[in-house]
Amino acid sequence: MGETKILGSYVRDGWFEASEGFATIHDPSTEEPIARVSSRGIDFAGVLEHARAVGGPALRALTFAERGAMIKGLSRALREHRDELLALSASSTGTTAADGSFDVDGAGGVFAYYAVQARKLGDRRRIVDGAGAQLAKTEAFWAQHAWVSKQGAAVCINAFNFPAWGLAEKAACAWLAGVPVIAKPATSTALLTERMVRILLDTGLLPAGTLQLICGSTGDLLDHLGPQDVLAFTGSADTALKLRGRSNLLEQSTAVNVEADSLNAAVLAPAVDPESATFKLFVKDVAREMTQKTGQKCTAVRRIFAPADAIDAVQAALTARLERVVTGNPADGSVRMGPLANAAQLADAERGVDELAAEAEIVYGTGKRADGVGSPPGKGFFFPPTLLRAADALSADVLHRREVFAPVATLMPYSGEADEAAALVAKGGGMLVTSVYGDDADWLDAFLAGTGAHCGRIYIGSEGSAEASFGSGAALPQTLHGGPGRAGGGEELGGLVGVTRYMQRVALQGERSLVDALAGVEEE
Ligand code: NAP
């Protein structure tokens, strides 16, 4: 039996340990209990008040450059503790070294990126928004939009799949905006987040009240959110619906930024030669996007559309790649894909494949739990890569609606027409990312005309990008992460776009020189 430590919460600048109401966290490879979590007894109203009264003013007193220096130091601290964090990621969340790096190095990377953006913003505290406008006959009456810090707290609730990066991508933007953070990781993978928070606090760089951590339930925290606060949520569409529909949030127009489910699609354009770099990139990307982090990525490919005359070649090439994936305990060096994060995810994946199988046939894998290399038989939440194939994408319903958060995707044929491909993609109801592979600019243009409004990001794989691209799954800080409709309607990252989600845009009107000076417009 492994050691079961009690995870603390960091509230009002001190560590809190509950004495009752515990949930247990398990090592997903062995099912051994490794930690217990509870937030019972926390004064949640006090947590919010502390962030607003202590953390907010301290952050807002800093210039962007000073906030950036703080964030840069946090990035350095994560790098210094990289090995420890990767080991904890493997043992507590079941990641391989590569998958753990995606989360842990991704966290350091997002901090490093925003530190640079902050330095560029310099010694200011407001962000200029667009060009000014003359309102009267002269510049004596002028207007300029600017972003100013909100004066509340950011409650950042994250999903289980990115316990390190999930905190970093929200906190970097909030802190740069001048807003303190109350972080709530998913219970099943909170061990890694808790350790990361201790490392960040130990730097001494974070002013009092700027970071608090809730491990376990949020209690009545959300009841106390007000008009200056932000609720940033990543998780399932069902939970998002419950949270965003809360009457106190609606009544006060509290900002809510949601990243939710997504039936992401990968589309192969017509007439792509199976020997071409574009085709090979398509197959390589799809296999990786199915299996990286055991398919537990909001950006993972769930639906694969191939022209009917190419679908057999796609299936053969994809299957050959999936055959190479060794599933098991990441402690074993041969393993390339770890377990699912917890028992509930495993049960949901099995149920999900059963549902997809009503409209498609399993052509690779089993859609059922399997034993994993390096773990005792019968133990561990292992799930093999599973590829399904449907005959008719247009009449399918479940395939466009059911997200199976596991290494599972369905291959479907289409005619090769851009309009049809776009219509099929759109059936997902709003996506974080769609990837499309082809070199014909006219076909891609027609595809974009039909899909652009349905996706937060469109990744184009072609001969020219084959060597350089990292694949469609990486949510990079330079580009938007979020999508319309079912994907939550939120916007994170995307350079300063994600920062402004924690700020208020205000229109300043008055004499031009005063307005420009107040907004922070720099002289040409
Ligand atoms: P989830 O069950 O919705 O939980 C997400 C987070 O919300 C967890 O921290 C959870 O805490 C918390 N939570 C649940 N109910 C709550 C409530 N009533 N009040 C306050 N917090 C509450 O989702 P999950 O199982 O962790 O994650 C899987 C889902 O997230 C997938 O559907 C996936 O598509 C989506 N996802 C989306 C993105 C994106 O960027 N769009 C990224 C990753 C995952 P507990 O763990 O303590 O219940």
Using a 6 Å cutoff on CB, does residue 161 contact ligand 1?
A: yes
Residue 344: count other Cβ atoms within 10 Å of its Cβ: 12
pTM of the shown model:
0.96
Q: Is the pLDDT of residue 253 over 90?
A: yes
Using a 6 Å cutoff on CB, does residue 342 contact ligand 1?
A: no
Calpha distance 289→295 (Å, rounded): 7
What value does the mean pLDDT of the chain take?
97
| Span 275-304, pLDDT tens digits | 999 999 999 999 999 999 999 999 999 999
Calpha distance 449→341 (Å, rounded): 38
CA distances to 24, 26, 151, 195, 457 from 343, rounded to whole Å, are 12, 9, 40, 23, 32
Tell me the average pLDDT across 490-510: 98
* For ligand 1, atom 15: residue with the closest CA: 239
Calpha distance 110→91 (Å, rounded): 24
Distance 186 CA to ligand 1 centre (A): 7
Distance 144 CA to ligand 1 centre (A): 38
* For ligand 1, atom 4: residue with the closest CA: 235
- In the 8-state DSSP scheme, what is residue 398? G
| Span 65-107, pLDDT tens digits | 999 999 999 999 999 999 999 999 999 999 999 999 999 999 9
Given pLDDT bands bounded at 50, 70 and 90, which one contains residue 3? low
* For ligand 1, atom 31: residue with the closest CA: 236
Tell me the average pLDDT across 351-356: 98
Using a 6 Å cutoff on CB, does residue 160 contact ligand 1?
A: yes
Given pLDDT bands bounded at 50, 70 and 90, which one contains residue 523? low
Q: Is the pLDDT of residue 4 over 90?
A: no
Using a 6 Å cutoff on CB, does residue 93 contact ligand 1?
A: no
Nearest to 260 by CA among 488, 445, 75: 488
Nearest to 268 by CA among 483, 471, 462, 470: 462
Q: Is the pLDDT of residue 2 over 80?
A: no
Percent over 90 (pLDDT), the chain: 98
Q: Is the pLDDT of residue 524 over 80?
A: no
Atom of ligand 1 nearest to the CA of 23: 47
Q: Is the pLDDT of residue 344 over 90?
A: yes
Distance 3 CA to ligand 1 centre (A): 26
Using a 6 Å cutoff on CB, does residue 261 contact ligand 1?
A: yes
Nearest to 91 by CA among 402, 483, 380: 380
Atom of ligand 1 nearest to the CA of 490: 41
Task: Give the pair of three-digit tokens for residue 340.
Answer: 């699912």
Using a 6 Å cutoff on CB, does residue 157 contact ligand 1?
A: yes
Atom of ligand 1 nearest to the CA of 492: 40
Distance 461 CA to ligand 1 centre (A): 30
Calpha distance 164→231 (Å, rounded): 18
Task: Please tell me which residue in 31, 259, 403, 491 is annotated as part of the active site.
Answer: 259
Using a 6 Å cutoff on CB, does residue 400 contact ligand 1?
A: no
Q: If you compute the radius of gyration of the chain from its CA atoms, what whole number of angstroms results?
A: 24
Given pLDDT bands bounded at 50, 70 and 90, which one contains residue 515? very high
| Span 211-224, pLDDT tens digits | 999 999 999 999 99
Q: Is the pLDDT of residue 390 over 50?
A: yes
* For ligand 1, atom 46: residue with the closest CA: 186
**Which of 24, 99, 160, 169 is the pocket-test mutation for ligand 1 (most atoms within 8 Å of CB)?**
160
Distance 234 CA to ligand 1 centre (A): 6
Buried b (16+ CB within 10 A) or exposed e, 308-330: eebbebbbebbbebbeebebbbb
What was the pLDDT predicted at 522? 83
* For ligand 1, atom 23: residue with the closest CA: 235
What was the pLDDT predicted at 341? 94
Q: Is 298 a catalytic residue?
A: yes
Distance 170 CA to ligand 1 centre (A): 15
Using a 6 Å cutoff on CB, does residue 406 contact ligand 1?
A: no
Tell me the average pLDDT across 374-397: 97
Q: Is the pLDDT of residue 328 over 90?
A: yes
Task: Please tell me which residue in 298, 359, 491, 492 is annotated as part of the active site.
Answer: 298
